[in-house]
A and B are shown apart, each in its own frame.
Chain A
């Protein structure tokens, strides 16, 4: 019983770790930046 509980906890931890690690994006922009729209952009 105790071993089953440990196995269940281990599996749950592995799934949680995989989900935590997973995601989209995550790589910061390597070039460029934000520029305020002004003058010619708004004519």
Chain B
């Protein structure tokens, strides 16, 4: 199979690296607006990578395309690819991109093309963990997602913007807008990250999870932040973002019913966010091409993949999920 990656930042370069080391992938086409970056990544990937330089005549010719460029126009690029009958995997973590990509659902469905929305660390791995945890329940009542850490500069910008924008919580069958930076909750992440104060932010996880779990009563998403993050969230970034953040983590708490009994299951993962996001995006592309997604149309990974083989394949790539055991809640 041939897979293309658009955008060679921290996530896109990792996704391309994952793809060239996948036996089923014959060729990886890489694109970025920065010519020197394309050459740098191509040189590091070996002979199965082919570089394409701007200006681009049209969408890349591939069986699947991973969109890993900065947020803003993922839906426009995805629309072109859907029209061409190409599977799309978007690593976007912005609300606007997620909503616009989900709107492509009917067209993608009609074309028989899967559009995997939010295939990163969070959303992405969080959606797979939520689906895996939900298998323990007869009925899922609540899903609460939290994340800590950022990948590359685009992710850091998104982190900054999300704390200053309105968050959306799914509650009792409707969306509630809440102020970003509100709703402090202390969350325990897999070691060595440990406890972090987390706040509401404009995160798309709830959009994807509420769609994937019909009948769920509450879905929330929070991210770790410090006082400076919250204080400066509505200002331009005061410092240039780091090339790549350190270790991050995600945590998914699913509450539901098993028979008459209410129970809680908490899953998580710890890794560098860009590394995990690249692995998730690459694996989603492979699943999309080899027919391991459940259906055509636009949706998150909770809707599209069987979590057990997906998590097993991720573990082989070094991204390991964990479960919290021994207490009702963390």
Spell out A's residues near B (CB within 8 Å). 23-26, 28-38, 41-43
Decide if B187 touches A25 in the complex (CB within 8 Å).
yes
Q: Which of B26-34, B40-48, B150-158, B188-196 has 4 or more CB atoms under 8 Å from chain A? A: B188-196
* Nearest CB on A from B320, distance (A): 5
Which residue on chain A has the smallest CB distance to residue B183? A24
Tell whether B312 is near chain A: CB-to-CB under 8 Å.
yes
Q: What does the 1/0 interface line of B264-289 toward A look like (CB < 8 Å)?
A: 00011000000000000000000000
Tell whether B315 is near chain A: CB-to-CB under 8 Å.
yes
Chain B residues with CB under 8 A of A29: 188, 324, 326-327, 330
Cα(A24)–Cα(B188), bound, Å: 13
Decide if A34 touches B186 in the complex (CB within 8 Å).
no
Spell out B's residues near A (CB within 8 Å). 184-188, 190-191, 195, 197, 267-268, 308, 311-312, 315, 320-327, 330
Decide if B323 touches A34 in the complex (CB within 8 Å).
yes
Cα(A5)–Cα(B21), bound, Å: 67
Chain B residues with CB under 8 A of A23: 184-186, 197
Decide if B268 touches A34 in the complex (CB within 8 Å).
yes
Chain A residues with CB under 8 A of B185: 23-25
Decide if B324 touches A34 in the complex (CB within 8 Å).
yes
Chain B residues with CB under 8 A of A32: 324-327, 330
A-B contact pairs, 17 of them (CB 8 A): A24-B186, A28-B188, A32-B324, A32-B330, A33-B191, A33-B324, A34-B191, A34-B268, A36-B320, A36-B321, A37-B267, A37-B315, A38-B320, A42-B308, A42-B311, A42-B315, A43-B308
Contact of A35 among B197, B325, B330 (CB under 8 A): B325
Which residue on chain A has the smallest CB distance to residue B310? A42
Which residue on chain A has the smallest CB distance to residue B321? A37
Cα(A34)–Cα(B308), bound, Å: 19
Beyond known contacts A24-B185, A35-B323: 9 more, CB 8 A cutoff: A23-B186, A29-B188, A30-B327, A34-B191, A34-B268, A36-B322, A38-B315, A42-B312, A43-B308
Which of A23, A26, A30, A34 has the most chain B CB atoms inside 10 A of its CB? A34
